[in-house]
Amino acid sequence: MSAPSEAWLAYLGEPIPWRPPSPLPRTTTARLVVRPYARGDGPALFAAIDRSRAGLLPWMLWASTDHRHVEDSIHYVERHRRAYGTSSCRDYPLGIFDRTSGELVGSTGLHDVRVGTRQAEVGWWVAPSHQGKGIATEAIDGLVETAFQPVDQGGWGLRRLVVYVVTDNHPSRRVAEKVGLRLEGTLRAERFIGYPPDAPRGYVDVLAYALLAGEPRARAAP
């Protein structure tokens, strides 16, 4: 068999795969800092999740099994801290912190990073005592900016962001729409919900929102 031509090798190299920026970006907004978890964040993360569990559970099933003890959250932070930025890391959970007090008020992240097409899935939650103050909208608005910023300008260098929201999760849909993500379609009976036990139980539809780098954001009115 003959050796592949240089032209064929160049063709195989496109599109340019994503590589994690170093150092990992932080996003600063008027009230918040969105940053990778660092050693020492575990107890605050556990406390926020434990207080929020009932509100997270209908939509985030991991809250029923994960972060049950403070050690789980310490381990979670340490596991991600060690993985961040390594060549195989595809999951970047990010804490949302009050810029003045440093309090952990919620969490977001760039998950399931597809290096070949430079896309990631964004998720979010905010502790109940901080909900209804525009925290999620402000944090995600800022994160979207940083996510699309080129790596050499201090950003994550991504090209496409996607968010999945259960149809009945109206607060979360509002966040996606106020940030200006575009509705791309409905994934039918894509997810199972049913916790706590008295909550509605079954397979539910999920809305897929997405945004491409450089495209205008059609933000819903506040």
Ligand X SMILES: CC(C)(COP(=O)(O)OP(=O)(O)OC[C@H]1O[C@@H](n2cnc3c(N)ncnc32)[C@H](O)[C@@H]1OP(=O)(O)O)[C@@H](O)C(=O)NCCC(=O)NCCS
Q: How far is the CB of 21 from ligand X (least distance, A)?
A: 25
CB closer to ligand X out of 156 and 164: 164
CB of 3 to ligand X, least distance (A): 49
Closer residue to ligand X (CB): 18 or 164: 164
Angle, vertex CA 151, rays to CA 88 and CA 214, nearest 5:
110
Write out the residues near ligand X by the rule CB under 6 A: 55-56, 59-60, 124-126, 131-137, 165, 169-172, 174-175, 222
> In this complex, which beta carbon is closest to ligand X, that of residue 113 or of residue 163?
163
Least distance to ligand X from the beta carbon of 143, Å?
Answer: 13
What's the closest the beta carbon of residue 148 comes to ligand X, in angstroms?
20
Q: How far apart are CA 215 and CA 183, in angstroms?
A: 14
| Shorter beta-carbon distance to ligand X: residue 57 or 115 | 57
